[in-house]
Amino acid sequence: MRVLVTGGAGYIGSHTVLLLLESGHDVLVVDDLSNASAESLRRVAELAGREPGFIEGNIADPAVLERAFGEFSPEAVIHFAGWKAVGESTQLPLVYYRENVAATVALAQAMADHGCHLLVFSSSATVYGDGTPPFTEDAPTGATNPYGRTKWMIEQILADAAAADPQLAVGVLRYFNPIGAHPSGRIGEDPRGIPNNLVPFVAQVASGRLAQLAVFGDDYDTEDGTGVRDYVHVMDLAAGHLAALDYLVDHPGWNVWNLGTGHGASVLQVVHAYEQACGHPIAYAVKPRRPGDVAASFADPAKANRELGWQATRTLDEMCADTYRWQSANPNGYRTD
Ligand code: UD1
């Protein structure tokens, strides 16, 4: 299939592009490189032995969309591009609505205009808010910050679009907490600045780039008092996109699947698993809770298993070992300075 991948140079995008190429699909990546590096695609090409096409640009720009659809005639779109920092979204809500919501509407319109009917969208378990896990896809959804609201709104917009167009097949993937890296250590997560998320932060403490991890709260109603999340290996997550693509070929309409392992791990369990991977202790101190955090979030992944035949297969130890391999080989991420 010819697959257009927006945000394909980013963390989850690059791992998915690799699997698409390895599975024989033709890929065009559109990425404005605002939070990604073209080096990731160079390495993807080296691993796959084939190159994806690449347009540097933002899908909110009509000329970029026109060029991508005109030159490539995609049969499917996997849409990763978007802004994703919760704190920043409260400061720059209009940017989030433009870059996430408005850009997705433009993308869906371009698909309709060019007869492309298959869309996989990156959503987030953030839409489950502070409900009670494990979350099934029919749990109540909503959001508590602008970033989360963009994901929630896009889900609704795509549901309306699918209801109006009997040919359109939409697969909404609600990611839990993606971590890990390709086992080669050649591609991985490369956050700019100080990481917001737990594992990139832990990895930089382990490598000596940051001094100490702040554990945001140890008084939650969880086994050890620290926050519990469903960490899922990025290669498992990437495989979920290919499974969704396959399914959508003969299932028009709006579909949603959780991509998670179904098991939670606490902050301290992650720290200890990473200590095993890197072979030395990781400095941490308990600090107050981070505003907006929930105690526990983990998936019920049964629907993805049943309908897509998808299941996460990699353990937390493998996720940490792969992150450590990537981090050790690339202490400055994709930057060579
Ligand atoms: C966060 C976002 C979520 C987004 C997801 C993926 C918030 C509140 N939520 O999810 O909307 O979809 O990232 O980008 O930002 N922790 C620490 N110290 C740290 C960092 C994290 O103790 O330095 C803890 C957190 O309190 C939490 C766990 O580690 O219990 C995981 O945090 P994180 O990696 O930021 O993911 P989420 O909060 O689940």
Task: Give me the residues paired with residue 284 across strands.
Answer: 213
Mean pLDDT of 31-56: 98
Whether 201 and 184 have beta carbons less than 8 Å apart is answered as no
Tell me which residues are annotated as active site.
Answer: 147
Residue nearest to atom 8 of ligand 1 (CA): 293
pLDDT in tens, 80-91: 999 999 999 999
Predicted local confidence at residue 196, as pLDDT = 92
DSSP string of 208-272, one letter each residue: TSSS-EEEE-S-SSSSSSS-EE-EEEHHHHHHHHHHHHHHHTT--EEEEEEES-S--EEHHHHHH
Tokens of 77: 């779109």
Does the Cβ of 89 fall within 6 Å of ligand 1? no
Residues 6 or more apart whose CB falls under 8 angstroms from that of 65 comprise 59, 106, 107, 110
Report whether pLDDT(172) > 80. Answer: yes
Report whether pLDDT(44) > 60. Answer: yes
Question: Whose structure tokens read 């832990």?
Answer: 202
How does residue 336 score in pLDDT terms, banded at 50, 70 and 90?
Answer: confident
pLDDT in tens, 211-253: 999 999 999 999 999 999 999 999 999 999 999 999 999 999 9
Using alpha carbons, select from 34, 40, 32 the residue that is nearest to residue 16.
40
Residue nearest to atom 20 of ligand 1 (CA): 198
Question: SS3 helix, strand, coil % of the chain, rounded to 5?
Answer: 40, 20, 40
Whether 88 and 139 have beta carbons less than 8 Å apart is answered as no
CA angle 198, 181, 3 (to 5 degrees): 115
Give CA–CA dist 192/228, Å, rounded: 25
Q: Distance, CA 196 to ligand 1 centroid (Å)? A: 7
Mutate to test the pocket of ligand 1, among 290, 297, 319, 323 (most ligand atoms within 8 A of CB): 290
Q: Distance, CA 147 to ligand 1 centroid (Å)? A: 13
Mutate to test the pocket of ligand 1, among 177, 224, 274 (most ligand atoms within 8 A of CB): 177
Give CA–CA dist 11/3, Å, rounded: 18
Q: What are phi and psi of 99, to 5 degrees?
A: -70, -30
CA angle 90, 105, 35 (to 5 degrees): 50
Report whether pLDDT(337) > 60. Answer: no
- The three-state secondary structure class of 136 is coil
Tokens of 293: 């955090």
pTM check: above 0.85: yes
Residue nearest to atom 35 of ligand 1 (CA): 197
Does the Cβ of 185 fall within 6 Å of ligand 1? no
Atom of ligand 1 nearest to the CA of 151: 12
Residues 6 or more apart whose CB falls under 8 angstroms from that of 313 comprise 233, 236
Whole-number mean pLDDT of the chain?
97
